[in-house]
């Protein structure tokens, strides 16, 4: 950690080498074939859903999980996510696991309580991401847990997902169950739902990874931008 801190963030060395992704790296959703409804049960048996549930609603003055915020009609992001999956299950007669990556201290216990009434209807598997120690800028010494309590630690973000997913045994579980595709999205992104056209395309083409994107608006100042450099797609965070 200290070595990475001293090295500083990665920087673009040559801005003139950056360009928009080529057409062969991008595919329009409208060009994808929608599978017949009769094929959906077999497709859905091969997928699981993971929601990244570590965020707090601090930008809105909250200290609870962002996914616990009420969106409409008394339902939270978590409620609506569960309802979306229950609708698919009931319509197509399949069970779709819901995985939640929670933050230690911050979102795990509250989310467990919120989902208690759903567990007999939906296969919900919660796991906690790692925690990393905080250290003082300049002094490069770690904060004492005795002095700072839980504030001596922080959740490292979404990049921690792959390590946690494997270390908690979830990767092996899903493989043994015949799940081939894991759909990942933020817990507060209600527009991120299982898309039969994308699911069918990914399985048919045997793609190891697929990212769904939408055009940015002037309000979308957070988040990265895809670019291409030396034939490879990369993510630029500003």
| pLDDT tens figures, 199-214 | 999 999 999 999 998 8
Check: CB of residue 172 under 8 Å from CB of residue 180: no
CA distances (Å), origin 172, targets 9, 168, 175, 176, 202 = 33, 9, 5, 6, 20
DSSP conformational letter for 183: E
Fold designation for 32-207: Spore Coat Polysaccharide Biosynthesis Protein SpsA; Chain A (3.90.550)
DSSP 4-37: HHHH-S---S-GGG-BPPPGGG---GGGSPPPPG
Q: Give the pLDDT confidence score for residue 132 in this predicted structure.
A: 84
What average pLDDT does range 134-140 have in this prediction?
Answer: 77
142 pLDDT higher than 80 = yes
- Res. 136 pLDDT band, cuts 50 70 90: confident
Domain with CATH 3.90.550.10 in the chain: 32-207
pLDDT for residue 21 is more than 80 = yes
Q: Judge whether residue 46 has pLDDT over 80.
A: yes
Is residue 224 classed as helix, strand or coil in its secondary structure? coil
From first CA to last CA, the distance across the chain in angstroms is: 22
pLDDT of 99 above 90 = yes
Cα-based distances in Å from 158 to 102, 139, 187, 235: 10, 27, 12, 14
Tell me which residue of 27, 12, 28, 23 sits closest to 229, measured CA to CA: 12
Instruction: Report the alpha-carbon distance of residue 113 to residue 68 in Å, rounded.
Output: 11
pLDDT value at residue 33: 95
Q: According to the model, what pLDDT value does residue 176 have?
A: 97
Residue 61 has pLDDT above 70, yes or no: no
**Arithmetic mean of pLDDT over the chain:** 86
Confidence of residue 10 (pLDDT cuts 50, 70, 90): confident
What is the rounded average pLDDT of the residues 230-234? 85
Report the percentage of the chain scoring pLDDT > 90. 40
Kindly tell me if the per-residue pLDDT of 161 is higher than 70: yes
Q: What is the pTM of this model?
A: 0.86
């Amino acid at each position: 950690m200290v070595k990475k801190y001293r090295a500083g963030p990665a920087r673009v060395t040559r801005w003139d080498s950056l360009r928009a992704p080529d057409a062969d790296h991008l595919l329009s959703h409208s060009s994808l074939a929608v599978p017949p409804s009769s094929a959906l049960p077999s497709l859905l048996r091969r997928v699981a859903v993971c929601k990244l549930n570590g965020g707090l609603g601090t930008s809105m003055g909250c200290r609870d999980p962002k996914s616990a915020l009420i969106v409409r009609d008394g339902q939270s992001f978590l409620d609506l996510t569960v309802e979306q999956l229950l609708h698919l299950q009931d319509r197509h007669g399949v069970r779709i696991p819901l995985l939640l990556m929670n933050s230690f201290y911050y979102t795990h216990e509250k989310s467990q309580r919120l989902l208690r009434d759903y567990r007999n209807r939906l296969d919900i598997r919660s796991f906690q991401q790692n925690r990393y120690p905080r250290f003082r800028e300049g002094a490069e010494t770690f904060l004492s847990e005795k002095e700072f309590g839980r504030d001596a630690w922080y959740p490292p973000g979404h990049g921690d997902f792959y390590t946690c997913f494997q270390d908690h045994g979830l990767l092996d579980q899903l493989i043994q169950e015949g799940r081939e595709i894991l759909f990942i999205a933020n817990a507060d992104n209600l527009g991120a739902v299982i898309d039969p056209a994308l699911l069918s395309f990914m399985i048919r083409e045997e793609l190891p990874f697929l990212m769904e994107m939408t055009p940015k608006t002037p309000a979308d100042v957070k988040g990265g931008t895809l670019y291409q450099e030396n034939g490879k797609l990369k993510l630029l965070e500003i």
